[in-house]
Structure formats: C-alpha cells, structure tokens
Amino acid sequence: MPEKILTLLPFATLKNPTTGHYLVEDRIIEIVDSNTSTGQHLSPISRKNTQALLIAATTFDRSFFPNFQSLPYAENEIASISKLYSRPNILLGPIATKKNFIGRLRGKSILHFSGHSVFNAQHPELSYFVLAPSHDPADTGLLLLREINPKDVRTLRLVVLSACQSLGPKNTRIGGISGLARIFLAAGADAVIGSLRDVPDRASAQFSRAFHYEYLATGKVGTSLQAAQIKMLNSPDESIANPASWGAYEAIVAANTNI
C-alpha cells in the first residue's frame, strides 16, 4: 500500500520512456491494503449469481449541501450498468434514501455508488455519504459510516465508488480510502474501485460500464480495471482518451485476495 504522497500518484499513467507505453498497457495494477481482512469470497462471479445494488444519489438537500453540484450523468451511468446484471436492485434520485441504502445492503455482492460524500480525515468514522432526505424532517440524507453495520456488508465482493476522488484525501464527491473504503474491506470485501481525482461524469459513466462488463466476464478486478482503462485510452474521442478521464482509477484489494 503506498503511503503519504505516493497515495496520490496515478500509477496507470506512468509512461515508459523507451516504449512510450503507459504502465497500464503493460501491467495489471492493484493496490494491496494489508491493514484489512483477507477477502473471503472464492466462488466464481457470474451474471446469475450476482446480487447488485446500484445507487445514483442525484437528489440531496441543497440547503444543507449548497456547494455540491448536480450529477447529470449519474442516473444514466446506473441505467447502463443495470443492463449487465440479472435483476439488480436500483436506487435513483429521491428513492436513494438513508433507510433504503442501509436496508438493501444485506446479501448483496456488488455495490456501485454514484454520488456525493465527504471524508473526515481527522475522524474517518464521521465520513458520510450524501443521500436523498426522507419525509422525516430530521433526516438530512446524511449517512455516517459508523451507521453502517459491518454485518450488512460482509457479503460484498466488490464496491465501486464512482467518480470524484473516492480514494484521495480531499472532501469532494467521494473521498478517502481510510474512511469510505476501509469499512467495506474490513468487513470482507475483495476490492474497492475508486478515483484519486475528479473525473468528468461522462467519462465516469463510460469507465463504469466498461469495467463492470469486463468484471462479469472475468471475475478479475485488476484485469477488468486494466481493460476498461485501455479501452478508454484507445477511444477515438480525445476527451475520453485523455489520461484525465481514465488514469485516476485504482483498485484497492484485500490482502491475499485472488482477484
């Protein structure tokens, strides 16, 4: 596991001065988090045996979170991914409430979250996801990590925290592996996919579909990440081929996980 400033280095975009290749073109890149429990899932992944929870948290209390931007591509991202899974559980917009998030986690093997969150570096347990408020006046839509019961996420094999800085240290759409990813890895998830930097919503949607497609075909997180990044690198659309659109994604895997 990289430490300090190296945690911000997008290894996939390192370039070989001799061949001109990006590192991701020649190597499968995974970051091993040795501080979490070993991944516990051995059965092969398949479309039929995979229970996916797909969330686009596009509705939130703007009076409580005035600085958060709209997420115009998030629901399209989830709609595109949902076609790959058999009977996925989907939470969109106003349905993506705290109660529904917690209530539908149990028994799932895949969690894909597209939305805002805030990482608290000093107190990771106070980091939170931003969801839709319910009809309860006391519910702001804020879901603290400490409110998630580890027993409810122990069946998860893969967690994808989509788009902005899900593995970085800043407070943005998603932030901080030591808070947001650690609870899932510690509970037994095999891997968490996230981004070190802000990624445009359109690029995030393309990456997410490409990654999930490869993951269902191979069951290998690192291989799927590499394939999705190379596909974007080779896109005729220059904005998608730009390393800023694909280079910040990383796979954090539990120690001794064969994925």
pLDDT 10s digits, 225-248: 999 999 999 999 999 999 999 998
The strand pairing partners of 128, in sequence order, are 118, 144
* Positive/negative CA dihedral, 52, 8, 34, 44: positive
CATH of residue 98: 3.40.50
| Cβ atoms of 77 and 204 closer than 8 Å | yes
**Domain range for 197:** 19-38+46-254
- The model carries a pTM of 0.88
Compute the residue count for the chain: 259
If one counts the domains in the chain, the total is 1
Inside any domain, residue 208: yes
Inside any domain, residue 32: yes
Q: What is the DSSP letter of 3?
A: -
> What would the pLDDT profile of 109-141 be if each residue is shown by its tens digit?
999 999 988 777 678 788 889 999 998 888 999
Inside any domain, residue 10: no
Inside any domain, residue 7: no
Inside any domain, residue 173: yes
Inside any domain, residue 5: no
Rounded CA gap, 82 and 73, in Å?
14
> What would the pLDDT profile of 55-100 be if each residue is shown by its tens digit?
999 999 999 889 888 888 899 999 999 999 989 999 999 999 999 9
| Cβ atoms of 86 and 50 closer than 8 Å | yes
Inside any domain, residue 3: no
Rounded CA gap, 38 and 187, in Å?
9
**What's the token pair of residue 244?**
């800023």
Inside any domain, residue 8: no
- Give the residue among 239, 244, 209 at the shortest CA–CA distance from 227: 209
